[in-house]
Amino acid sequence: MARSRARALWSLRKQIGALAERILELSFGGATVKFGQLLEKGTEILDEAKPLPAPDLPSALEEKYEMPPVTAPAPEIVPPPAIPVAPVQRAAPLSTGDGSSESVFNAFEGVNDALQQLSEALQIRSRGGALIVKLVKAGHIPMEAVDLYETLRKARNAIAHGEAQIPNAAEALEFARQASSLRGLLMYALEAVNAEKHARTSR
């Protein structure tokens, strides 16, 4: 009797679990996108990416911005006054909301802003992923930037379209870190593009 009841409970739990998963999928329109999984993919892309090379500026610009040798003795450094240390407080538990979604949107907007500047500097109409691909083909940024941009875009859209739960503070911070890395890469490319234009006009 006890065994039959145990089997019945196990079968009921299994059915409830399957039903809960189905309801979750239906509530997100059948999407199974998870913000955390996309963040993990972005982290892997950054970890495997090669470090940026030193800026390859034209010789004219190198001479222009070359720092003169320092001949004067370095001034004596006076240590600043000690700053009182505030008592350590217990960190608040990570929770969803509290501006986390807005942080994600703002971070991705920073990437798009850098792309807009590059589009204007190169005088081309491409936007978003299409512009990223053109920058890769031109040798301005590495191939990994394409995957990173698409991953960030999908993660951002998953939040915007309700296809993923609202990120907590740690997830929003990691998204901002990845977006900042990509934006830095694009700004690096923008400096190189502007340097090339300056070199051509100064000849």
Residues 6+ apart with CB under 8 A from 47: none
Query: Is there a domain that residue 70 lies in?
Result: no
Domain count for the chain:
1
Other CB atoms within 10 Å distance of the CB of residue 122: 18
pLDDT of residue 118: 94
More confident residue, 160 or 66: 160
| Domain assignment of residue 139, given as a range | 35-49+96-203
Query: Is there a domain that residue 78 lies in?
Result: no
Residue 194 has, within 13 A of its CA and on its CB side, a CA count of: 10
State the burial class of residue 65 (Cβ atoms within 10 Å of its Cβ: 0-12, 13-18, 19+).
exposed
The DSSP call for residue 168 is B
pLDDT of residue 19: 44
* pLDDT classification of 112: cutoffs 50, 70, 90: very high
pLDDT of residue 91: 36
Query: Is there a domain that residue 128 lies in?
Result: yes
pLDDT of residue 165: 83
Query: Is there a domain that residue 190 lies in?
Result: yes
Query: Is there a domain that residue 171 lies in?
Result: yes
Q: What average pLDDT does the chain have?
A: 72
Query: Is there a domain that residue 126 lies in?
Result: yes
Encode 22-58: b = buried (16+ Cβ within 10 Å), e = exposed.
eeeeeebeeeeeebeebbebbeebeeebeeeeeeebe
pLDDT of residue 13: 52
pTM to 2 decimal places: 0.62
pLDDT of residue 54: 46
* pLDDT classification of 132: cutoffs 50, 70, 90: very high
Q: What is the pLDDT of residues 44-88, one digit of tens each?
A: 888 887 664 544 444 443 444 344 444 444 445 444 333 333 343
Query: Is there a domain that residue 71 lies in?
Result: no
Does 92 have pLDDT greater than 50? no
Does 176 have pLDDT greater than 80? yes
pLDDT of residue 1: 59
Query: Is there a domain that residue 11 lies in?
Result: no
Q: Which residue has the tokens 């004067």?
A: 72
Other CB atoms within 10 Å distance of the CB of residue 180: 13
